[in-house]
Amino acid sequence: MALMGYNFAMFGFSNYGPYWREMRKIAVLRLLSNRKVAALAGSREVQVRAMNKQLYSSMPDVEMKRVLGDLTLSMMVRTVAGDVEARMGEEERERWKRSVRDFFKMMTVHTICDAVPWLGWMDRFGRMERALVDTGREFDSMLQGWLEEHKDTWSEAREDDDFMNEMLDVADTATQEFPHFDADTINKAMCLTMMVGGSETTAAVLTWALTLLLNNRHSLKKAQEELDIHVGRERLVNESDLENLAYIRAVIKETTRLQPPIPVIPREAGEDCVVAGYHIPAGTRLFINNWKIQRDPRVWADPLEFRPERFLTSHKDIDFQGLHFELLPFGGGRRVCPAVSSARRFAELALASFLQGFDVDTPSGEPIDMAAGFGTTNMVLAPIQVCIKPRLSPIHYA
C-alpha cells in the first residue's frame, strides 16, 4: 500500500498515531456522520432504481455478480465525487471501472517480501513493483481529474456534498498539522480509502445474499412477503421503510455471518506486549480467522445453516458494529470499519429494491455454486446467471 496508497496516507492502512486519529475523526464526524448518511439517502435510492431500470431492459437473463458490482462501484463514486460518472463517455466510464478493478486485483497480490521483507530482492527486475506503481498512477490520474473539477466549482460545504467537496473544506487545515502530505494527497487518499473500503465489500455482501436466498427459497419467499406487507407493490421501497423490514435486515446479518466480506482480519502489534503469558514483539502481525469465529458451534446453533430467523430470536440483540465479538464482518475495536452503518443501509436498500422489483430464479432451477474466490475480499467465484421477471407495474421501471 506504500506504492498504491499514497505512502500510507490512506488512513485505513496507516499505523495508529496522530495522523490516523485525525483522519478517522474526519471520516466519522464529517463524511460518515448520521446527518451526512441521511442527507445522501436520495443518491442511494437513485442508484438502486437505476439498477432496476437496467435490469428491466435486460430481462429475462442477467448476470447479477457484474450488475451488483457495478451498482456498488457507481454508488461509491457518486458518494465520493458526485455525478462525475454521468458526465463520462462510454470509453471513459470503462476506463475508470477497469482502473478500480485493477486496483482491487493488485491489493490481493502477495509477494514473499510481504512475509519476509529482506527477501524483497527476489523481485529481481522489479516487475511487481512496476505493476503496483503503474496501477497506482492510473488511479491517481483519475482521482486528480475529479479533484480539479471539484476545485473549479467548490463553494462552502453543504450537508449533502460529496466527499471530495467535504474534504476541500478540511484538507488545507490537515496538511498544516501533517506537512509530509499535501492537501491534494490527503483528499485523494481519503476518497480512495472510502472507495476501496465501500465498493468491493458491499458488492460481496449483496452477491452472497442473493446466492444464499436462491439456495434457500423459503427465505427468499419470506423476504418478498415482508416487502409486500410493509411496502406493497404500488410504490417503490425507500430508505425510510428499512426500519420495518426486519427480515431483510436479518438476511444481511446472516449473510455476513456465513460469508464475511473480510474473512481474515489483520492486526499488527504497535509495541512490545504480553498476551496470555506470551511475549509479542512490536511489528508482529496477527491474522484473526473471522470466518471460523462466525461458524463456531459453541455460539451459533447449526452454524453452517442459512437461518436469518436467528437474528429475530436467539441473536436479535447481536449487531455488527464491532461490539459483539461473535459477529465481526467489518472488524472490531478502534479500527472497525467506520462506514458500517452506511454500508448496512445501502445493502438493505439494494436487496429490498431488487426483491421488490423482480421474481428471480436460476436458469435450470439448480442451486448456485457456493465456491468463493481467492483474495482480500470474500467474493462468489462463479458468475450468477439468473432469470428475472417483474413484480411491479411497468411505470416503476421507467
Three-state SS annotation for the chain: CCCCCCCCCCHHHCCCCHHHHHHHHHHHHHHCCHHHHHHCHHHHHHHHHHHHHHHHHHCCEEEHHHHHHHHHHHHHHHHHHCCCHHHCCHHHHHHHHHHHHHHHHHHCCCCHHHHCHHHHHHCCCCHHHHHHHHHHHHHHHHHHHHHHHHHHHCCCCCCCCCHHHHHHCCHHHHHHHCCCCCHHHHHHHHHHHHHHHHHHHHHHHHHHHHHHHHCCHHHHHHHHHHHHHHCCCCCCCCHHHHHHCHHHHHHHHHHHHHCCCCCEEEEECCCCEEECCEEECCCCEEEEEHHHHCCCCCCCCCCCCCCHHHHHCCCCCCCCCCCCCCCCCCCCHHHCCCCHHHHHHHHHHHHHHHHHHEEEECCCCCCCCCCECCCCCCCECCCCEEEEEECCCHHHHC
Looking at residue 365, its amino acid is G
Average pLDDT for 266-280 = 90
User: How far is it, in rounded angstroms, from Cα 5 to Cα 155?
Assistant: 28
What is the band of 138 on the pLDDT scale with cuts at 50, 70, 90? confident
Nearest-CA neighbor of 96 among 80, 79, 74? Answer: 74
Residue given cell 474526519 in the structure block = 26
In this prediction the pTM is: 0.91
What per-residue confidence (pLDDT) applies to 321?
A: 80
What is the band of 326 on the pLDDT scale with cuts at 50, 70, 90? very high
- Among 62-71, 210-219, 265-274, 371-380, which stretch is predicted with the lowest mean pLDDT? 371-380
What per-residue confidence (pLDDT) applies to 221?
A: 98
- The strand pairing partners of 267, in sequence order, are 286
What per-residue confidence (pLDDT) applies to 198?
A: 80
Condensed to tens digits (0 to 9), the pLDDT of residues 182-208 reads 999 999 999 988 888 788 899 999 999
Task: Please list, in sequence order, all residues whose beta carbon lies within 8 angstroms of the beta carbon of residue 236, skipping any fewer than 6 positions away.
Answer: 45, 49, 353, 356, 392, 396
The 10 Å CB-count burial string (b at 16+, else e) for 340-369 is: bebbbbbbbbbbbbbbbbbebeeeeeeebe
- Among 53-67, 118-132, 194-208, 277-291, which stretch is predicted with the lowest mean pLDDT? 118-132
Burial class (CB in 10 A: 0-12, 13-18, 19+), 330: buried
* Residue 252 predicted with pLDDT over 90: yes
Condensed to tens digits (0 to 9), the pLDDT of residues 111-137 reads 555 566 555 555 554 576 777 778 788
User: How far is it, in rounded angstroms, from Cα 182 to Cα 105?
Assistant: 27
Condensed to tens digits (0 to 9), the pLDDT of residues 205-224 reads 999 999 999 999 999 999 99
How many residues would you count in the chain? 398
What per-residue confidence (pLDDT) applies to 246?
A: 98
Residue given cell 426500519 in the structure block = 243
CB 22 within 8 A of CB 174: yes
Average pLDDT for 1-14 = 75
Average pLDDT for 221-228 = 98
Indicate the domain borders of the chain: 27-262+294-397
What per-residue confidence (pLDDT) applies to 92?
A: 80
Average pLDDT for 80-92 = 84
Condensed to tens digits (0 to 9), the pLDDT of residues 140-180 reads 888 999 999 999 887 666 666 889 999 998 998 898 999 99
Higher per-residue pLDDT: 100 or 113: 100
What per-residue confidence (pLDDT) applies to 109?
A: 61
What per-residue confidence (pLDDT) applies to 16?
A: 87
Condensed to tens digits (0 to 9), the pLDDT of residues 376-392 reads 788 899 999 999 999 99
CB 194 within 8 A of CB 79: yes
What per-residue confidence (pLDDT) applies to 376?
A: 76
Task: Please list, in sequence order, all residues whose beta carbon lies within 8 angstroms of the beta carbon of residue 52, skipping any fewer than 6 positions away.
Answer: 353, 354, 357, 358, 396, 397
Average pLDDT for 354-368 = 94
What per-residue confidence (pLDDT) applies to 8?
A: 82
| Chain mean pLDDT for the chain | 88
CB 188 within 8 A of CB 144: yes
CATH number given to 27-262+294-397: 1.10.630.10
Residue 337 assigned ligand-binding role: yes
Percent of the chain with pLDDT over 90: 55
What per-residue confidence (pLDDT) applies to 114?
A: 59
User: How far is it, in rounded angstroms, from Cα 379 to Cα 371?
Assistant: 9
Residue 84, Cα to own-chain centre: how many angstroms?
20
Average pLDDT for 309-319 = 94
